[in-house]
Chain A
Amino acid sequence: MEEPELVQRLGAYIAARMPQARDVAVTEVARITGGASRQTYRFTLVWSEAGEARRRGLILRRDPADSLIDTERRVEFEAYRAFHGGDVPVPEMLWLEEGDAALGSPFFVAEEIAGFQAGTGPLWTAPYLDSLPALGRRKWTILGQIARADPVALGLAKVLPATTADGVWRRELDHWEGVLDADETEPLPIIRAAIRWLRAHPPPPAQKVAVVHGDYRTGNFLYDTEGGIHGILDWEMCHLGDPLEDLGWSFNPVWSFGREHPGGLLPRDEAIAAWEAASGLSAPPEALKWWELFACVKGQAIWVSSAKTWLDGANRDPILVYPAWALINAQDRGALKVMGHL
């Protein structure tokens, strides 16, 4: 769909949901590049209400023809909505459309939290460098708050597939090994060895069945120059599971971005301490090692799927080539590191 048509159809969609508003228009549309699983646009909604001109910055997240990560739009929407207004900062969700009629594919519209950075590009330079430890403490504190949250009280137990504390590791490993089986385009000896190790050394049952963000890493939040975090983003892989899964994913060596500390931010023991204090849970080393190695398998499955999606031809976005070229070998090295072979 060309942009003028998108603007017109989005404006009509929103106008139908704001009966009190007049002269509703979508303006200042700009595509935010970088996301491989959703198409993201920033825009300004203008309208008049009770004789007064109004405007609000909003975000449109729409499914592309073939996404890097196959997930339900509703999962992402409901996860944001569940945490909005609580300890975990997230943008407000406004409208969810699961059909194709309005914009050609499912989408949601959310508030824009403006004035902050996302991604990792600016982090490793001034004026952000001095705030990295504070940002790290905040990052793992918020992750602990996600782990502490009660999925039933949040209403997410009705949206996300149920699981059990002792079966969650197998469900996750089966899923991502299945993705590798379906999508790998070249053999992966290191990751296959990692899978064999994981199956031979299962982790203890989860301390609780918690909300798992699914992609909690440096760069997937909005931050300022003082170490503050103003919005946790990218909830499309949210599910119920072992809270150590998110901690392990945050320690995936590829998310250190070549820097000394996990996430490029904070010494490992300090990150674990912040998470434990906020979650009220513990991170036993052997269990955490299992989930860190699992994170390497999951990461590799995503990078391999990225290559497969591009090769299949339905989506030739160059963003799909980047993880395949830049991260598959790095992820192998991450797995070697976690297993003590690097």
Chain B
Amino acid sequence: MTPAVSQVLADLAGRVARNAAPNIPVAERAGELGLSALLLALAAEMWDGAAEILVLENAELRVLLAKGAAVWRDDSRRRWLEALAGGRDESLRLSALQGANNELKVALIALHAQLEGQDDPESRRLESEVWRALAAASARRRLSGSPV
């Protein structure tokens, strides 16, 4: 969720207050408040499940990275994945969970690219697992009005 919900809500608060002034042109006010309402609805839908989605996703990513460490033949890369796989979410603040998620996804991208270049059965199996995890993560993040 970028920009962060908390940042956007703070901005919308100021915007709604500004549109309460009597001298705002009607069409402009309608446009701004309509968009603000749309964003508030999205925030409401995302907010309740946001921490759970990140906790689940981070746990899945750590499992994948641990499996990746077992097939990546480069020592420094293997140690990098093992270190990330051994981590845990110490805080449930969204910003902390998102920070960990970003770090894990950087490693996943590197692992995914590596797997594509390795032609052994274990790499193929793990690559399929990566795709399934990515699809599952996108399904968890899917909003009710999503076009896909």
Q: Which residues of A contact B (CB under 8 A)?
A: 3, 30-34, 185-190, 192-193, 196, 253-258, 307, 310-311, 316, 318-319, 321-322, 324-334, 336-337, 341-342
Residues of A with C-beta under 8 A to B84: none
| Beta-carbon nearest neighbor of A253 in chain B | B148
In the complex, are the beta carbons of A342 and B146 less than 8 A apart? no
Q: Mark contacts of B6-25 with chain A using CB atoms, 8 A cut-off: 1 yes-contact digit, 0 otherwise.
A: 01100110010000000001
Which of B3, B39, B108 makes the CB contact (< 8 A) with A189? B108
Size category of the B interface is 35 or more
Please give 5 more A-B residue pairs, beta carbons under 8 A apart, in addition to A33-B27, A188-B105, A318-B35.
Answer: A196-B113, A258-B145, A311-B2, A318-B39, A333-B139
In the complex, are the beta carbons of A307 and B25 less than 8 A apart? no
In the complex, are the beta carbons of B27 and A189 less than 8 A apart? no
What is the CA–CA distance of A33 and B32 in the complex, to the nearest angstrom? 8
In the complex, are the beta carbons of A187 and B109 less than 8 A apart? yes
Q: By DSSP majority rule, is chain B's interface helix, strand, loop, or mixed?
A: helix
Residues of A with C-beta under 8 A to B3: 307, 310-311, 321, 324
Q: Which residues of B contact A (CB under 8 A)?
A: 1-3, 7-8, 11-12, 15, 25, 27-28, 30-32, 34-36, 38-39, 42-43, 46, 98, 101-102, 105-106, 108-109, 112-113, 116, 130-131, 134-135, 138-139, 141-143, 145-148
Q: Shortest CB–CB separation between residue B124 and chain A, in angstroms?
A: 14
Q: Shortest CB–CB separation between residue B58 and chain A, in angstroms?
A: 13
| Beta-carbon nearest neighbor of B101 in chain A | A186
Residues of B with C-beta under 8 A to A187: 102, 105-106, 108-109
In the complex, are the beta carbons of B25 and A31 less than 8 A apart? yes
Which of B7, B11, B38, B148 makes the CB contact (< 8 A) with A334? B148
Residues of B with C-beta under 8 A to A30: 25, 27
Q: By DSSP majority rule, is chain A's interface helix, strand, loop, or mixed?
A: helix
What is the CA–CA distance of A3 and B12 in the complex, to the nearest angstrom? 22
Residues of A with C-beta under 8 A to B141: 329
Which of B30, B46, B112, B147 makes the CB contact (< 8 A) with A258? B147
In the complex, are the beta carbons of A333 and B142 less than 8 A apart? yes
What is the CA–CA distance of A301 and B6 in the complex, to the nearest angstrom? 23
In the complex, are the beta carbons of B1 and A325 less than 8 A apart? yes
Residues of B with C-beta under 8 A to A257: 147
9 contacts between A and B (CB under 8 A): A31-B25, A189-B108, A190-B134, A192-B113, A310-B3, A329-B142, A341-B131, A342-B135, A342-B138
Residues of B with C-beta under 8 A to A188: 105
In the complex, are the beta carbons of B25 and A3 less than 8 A apart? yes
What is the CA–CA distance of A192 and B112 in the complex, to the nearest angstrom? 10
Residues of B with C-beta under 8 A to A189: 105, 108-109, 112, 130, 134
Q: Shortest CB–CB separation between residue A42 and chain B, in angstroms?
A: 9
What is the CA–CA distance of A187 and B1 in the complex, to the nearest angstrom? 12
